């Protein structure tokens, strides 16, 4: 499997994992906690696997950057987190950085 495909799965898992942490705080139960822990292990495993084919710094920066964007959007949609011009501008900067790393890799 391509390192970029695995990294994409790692990003998706990262977003779900981080949002699950918020959900555990809102509605704690043992199943959500166990699911969050399982997602954490899966997340790290996928990132590690992606780093076989992608430079570590590039993979990590893309994983954290896209993860931050996804968690921010998910927080806005599902948890009512605020959205303003400054947050949108910061997210745009993250997108630019991630795209730049992909282009030079």
What is the pLDDT at residue 33?
A: 94
What tens-digit pLDDT sequence spans the chain (105 residues)?
799 999 999 999 999 999 999 999 999 999 999 999 999 999 999 999 999 999 999 999 999 999 999 999 999 999 999 999 999 999 999 999 888 888 887
Domain boundaries, the chain: 3-104
Q: What b/e sequence results for 47-84 when a residue is b if at least 16 CB atoms lie within 10 Å of its CB, and e otherwise?
A: bebbbeebeeebbbbbbebbbbbbbbebbeeeeeeeee
pTM of the model: 0.88
Tokens of 90: 């910061």
Q: Cβ neighbours of residue 70 under 8 Å, at least 6 residues apart?
A: 11, 12, 14, 15
């Amino acid at each position: 499997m391509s390192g970029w495909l695995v990294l994409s799965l790692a990003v998706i898992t990262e977003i779900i994992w981080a949002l699950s942490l918020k959900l555990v705080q809102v509605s704690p139960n043992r199943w959500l906690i166990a699911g969050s822990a399982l997602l954490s292990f899966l997340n790290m495993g996928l990132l590690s696997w992606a780093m076989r084919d992608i430079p570590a710094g590039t993979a990590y920066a893309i994983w954290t950057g896209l993860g931050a964007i996804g968690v921010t959007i998910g927080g806005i949609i599902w948890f009512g987190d605020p959205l303003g011009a400054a947050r949108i501008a910061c997210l745009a900067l993250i997108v630019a950085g991630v795209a730049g790393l992909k282009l030079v890799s």
